[in-house]
Chain A
Amino acid sequence: MSGKPKVLIVDDEERFRTTMAKLLTVNGLEVTAVGSGKDALEELKAKPYDVITLDIRMPGMSGLEALAEIKKVNPGIEVIILTGHASVDTAMEIMKLGGYEYLLKPTSTEELMNKIDAAFERKLTREQKTRKGEGS
């Protein structure tokens, strides 16, 4: 795997996103945290990211709406839904919208790190394939 993924945390709960950012940072990731779907879209315009962790229930733009918008702006980015509000049907909806995975809160940092690594690996593999396709 080349380098570490750049991760964007999107969660309206401030304490959650700041501590999560600290935990992921001490595990060697480059992390930014924002509090809404709108801020996430702004952040994506300013900087490239590899993986996003996204809450579903947020005031204003919901996580699922944000996911659809994010995929329009950057289809290659991997999105992990991290929420206390998930069901099998929500998981299906997330997959249809192009989300990579969903995790039910509370989850351990180790579990989240595994998902982020797997999502990043998938992104890199897809990019390599695209490059090969363009080269041939």
Chain B
Amino acid sequence: MGFRQSVLPYIASILICLCAVILAFTGSFGFAVAGIFLAALALVTTRKLLEKIATANEQACFLDEKLVQSQKLASIGELSAGIGHEINNPLAIISQETEWMQHILKRIGEKDSKEVTELQDSLKEVLHQVDRCREITQNLLDFARRKDPVFQEVNVNKLIEDLSRLVEKEAILHQIEIRRDFQQDLPLVHTDAPSLRQVVLNLLTNATHAVQKDGKIRIATKSSQNGSVDIIVEDTGCGIPKDHLVKIFDPFFTTKPEGKGTGLGLSICHGIVDKLGGRISVSSEVGKGSTFVVTLPVNQQRGTRPS
């Protein structure tokens, strides 16, 4: 609060007090009491009003800062997306040229000399490093996509069905079955569809990686009476040991071999679900499989979570 704002109420109340004293000396005691009461009231009211003005000013400054911050983040996001996309294309060419060299080496390297073996080893390493770069660009693109959610009425069953079809194409190649178990009268959910797609796609992809050939994945939806909707992704995979379960949503925690996973997928999912006002939980048994449950409020109010 500024100097003028803190002094002004006192000056106003002193003036009223002075009026009261003058009135007392002129013999109007009742007016004097009333004057003092008014002075006290003026002091309290003015202070309250000024406090409100100060809070509003602070809030305006905060919003300005937030706006600048979000504009900065948006620029970083655009830059990251640009870098990610532009790097992917030359990476594709490096990868192809390396494969072409491997092909030529196979043709000429029938004698299997030491040099040829070394060259083959080097080219294999180039491809390995290309894979690493691909992971990095993918993370940059994921980061760029992290925008403020736009809440709309979403048909969750349809959203999941579309994604299941997408993942099924890959799953069929490994004889993995994706079983749908949707509640038919599921209410529309007030949420951000692109963010929810990212979460469900991540859970489904993880499930296909967890189950071996001939495994099963069940994706289900159900609503509960407390105004929330559950999305359940269940797999018959290898399961997660108890000591890993507590760290599963930590950034950079991964059980995949080096270079195969960044350990950011579930952490990003956790962040998104939190932003959508929901929660994500996991239960698992080693050797039997895992179940991930995303609980979302049907009517999202900022900052509220389903109980």
Interface on A for B, CB 8 Å cutoff? 13, 15-16, 19-20, 22-23, 26, 57, 84-85, 87-89, 91-92, 95, 100-101, 104-109, 114, 118
Contact = CB atoms under 8 A, between A and B. Distances in A.
Contacts of A26: 103
B306 to A, nearest CB: 24
Given A57-B85, A106-B92, A92 B173 contact: no
Interface string B75-101: 000000000111111011111110110
B51 to A, nearest CB: 46
Interface stretch (B23-31, B194-202, B262-270): B194-202
Nearest to A105: B92
Contacts of A105: 88-89, 91-92
A26 B166 CA distance: 29
Contacts of B173: 114, 118
12 contacts: A16-B93, A23-B96, A84-B84, A84-B85, A87-B141, A95-B165, A105-B88, A105-B91, A106-B92, A106-B94, A106-B130, A109-B99
Contact of A16 (B92, B137, B201): B92
Q: Is the interface of A mostly helix, strand, loop or mixed?
A: helix
B162 interface: yes
B169 interface: yes
A104 B138 contact: yes
B275 interface: no
A23 B96 CA distance: 8
Given A104-B138, A114-B173, A118-B173, A85 B85 contact: yes
Contacts of A101: 169
B96 A109 contact: yes
B222 interface: no
B167 to A, nearest CB: 10
B145 interface: yes
A100 B137 CA distance: 24
A79 to B, nearest CB: 13
Nearest to B133: A106
A95 B162 contact: yes
A13 B194 CA distance: 30
Contacts of A13: 89, 92-93
Contacts of B92: 13, 16, 84, 105-107
Nearest to A91: B166
B134 interface: yes
Contact of A23 (B103, B162, B201): B103
